[in-house]
Amino acid sequence: MDERITVLEAAAQDTRGRLEDLRDRSDDMRGRLDDMSSRLVRVETKLDTVATKSELNELKADMHDMKAELIKWMVGSVLALGATAITVMTFVLNNAVPKLPPMQAAPVVIQLPPPPSSLLAPGGK
């Protein structure tokens, strides 16, 4: 009977060792579970700020509208700047060289042919 008790005590001792291992492993698992839980909370917090597919589609449409608006403004600005540049160049070129006073036109001299001699002589002939 002593031999059976010794075997049972050895089995009990082995079981205690295994239980200690299980306790250590379960403590380790609890630590990991707490770490995973805190990570999950951080991920869920970040997911609240992430855009959904419909929000991204709305953003895409808004960006397309803004692109068209920007192109329209750029074309208008380029045309306005071009017109301004042409106006300034015209003004500068017209006023860069001092203008000469207008020349007086040469007087018009009309020379009449001499009257026929028959008209000049007294008596008419």
Share above pLDDT 90 across residues of the chain, in percent, rounded to a whole number: 41
Asked whether residue 18 is assigned to any structural domain, the reply reads yes
| 60-81: average pLDDT | 97
Asked whether residue 117 is assigned to any structural domain, the reply reads no
The better pLDDT of the pair 80, 17 is held by: 80
Asked whether residue 36 is assigned to any structural domain, the reply reads yes
Asked whether residue 89 is assigned to any structural domain, the reply reads yes
Number of domains comprising the chain: 2
Q: What is the mean pLDDT of the chain?
A: 88
| 63-85: average pLDDT | 97
Distance CA 98, CA 90 (A): 15
Whether the Cβ atoms of residue 87 and residue 80 lie closer than 8 Å to each other: no
pLDDT of the residue at 36? 93
pLDDT of the residue at 82? 98
CA dihedral in degrees (70, 72, 74, 78; nearest 10)?
180
Which residues span the domain enclosing 32?
A: 10-50
The pLDDT confidence band at residue 99, using thresholds 50, 70 and 90, is confident
Asked whether residue 107 is assigned to any structural domain, the reply reads no
